[in-house]
Amino acid sequence: MHLARRSSSSTGIRIDGFIVVDFIGFQNVVDAIGGVPLCTREDLQDPDSGLNLPAGQHVLDGPTALALARARHNLSDGSDTHRLDRQQALVAATVRTVLDSNLLTDAPSLLRTVDAATSAVTVSGGFSIPGLAFSLKGVDPASVVFQTVPSGPMPSNKNRVEWTDEADELWARLRADNAPAPAATPEAPDAGAPAAGGTPGAPATPGAPTADAPPAAPPIDPLADRTPGETISSADAQVTCG
């Protein structure tokens, strides 16, 4: 109730239901789905959380996923803000793992996962974990979007953050039941624009040099720091390093 009143007064949005997952609950869910595939593009280490992941392809078990979720020291600037980025990326990869597998259509596997979840989470009255699980069938990973509130350093104390003006747009979208605005992506080059020394709209000559072509965009690193307010979807989760 206190959470609902605080949310309503700050954002104009009332929270009608909630799910609280503790550390052990998250660990159990990851193990119940057989682990979470994830690509790390650099070494990640935090002795305080027990994290020691070399760069490369991994299938995170429950304890390792929990260590990644808790890690903060020796990573980025050590802030909770960017730890939240990594937590969102991890949860995005977890959701993608569930949606890409046959878990939601395999009744025994689904029941094991639901049992692991219901034994370690707290839900508000009237909320059904099995109902939520069954409702995920057919959901597109790109439709599962995570976003932090747009924020920046507080002028009076650089060690604290405060909401920026863009936060008002986020709350307005949520009050209108609209999806978060997608992250900005670079515009594709105009297909009709001439290449160096070429003719507008002319097809490329097979075998011709492509040195003047724009370089391909590097693969997204979902564990990298994001600007507060930037979105990430489960479709962005890099479950392989390919």
Structural domain boundaries of the chain? Answer: 2-182+214-236
Region of residue 184 (phi > 0: left; psi between -120 and 50: alpha; otherwise: beta): beta
Q: How far is CA 148 from CA 118, 156, 167, 171, 186, in A?
A: 26, 22, 9, 11, 21
CA atoms within 13 A on the CB side of 220: 17
CATH superfamily, domain 2-182+214-236, is LCP protein (3.40.630.190)
How far apart are the two ends of the chain, measured CA to CA in Å? Answer: 46
Full-model pTM: 0.76
For residues 205 and 78, the model is more confident at 78
For residues 96 and 238, the model is more confident at 96
Q: What is the pLDDT of residue 214?
A: 54
Instruction: Give the model's confidence band at 77: pLDDT under 50 very low, under 70 low, under 90 confident, else very high.
Output: confident
Please say if the pLDDT value at position 208 is more than 70: no
Q: 86, 71 in Cβ contact below 8 A?
A: yes
Per residue in 189-206, pLDDT (tens digit) is 444 444 444 444 444 444
Q: What is the pLDDT of residue 182?
A: 57
Q: List the Cα angle 184/189/194 in 5-degree steps.
A: 165
Per residue in 158-187, pLDDT (tens digit) is 889 999 999 999 999 999 988 776 554 444
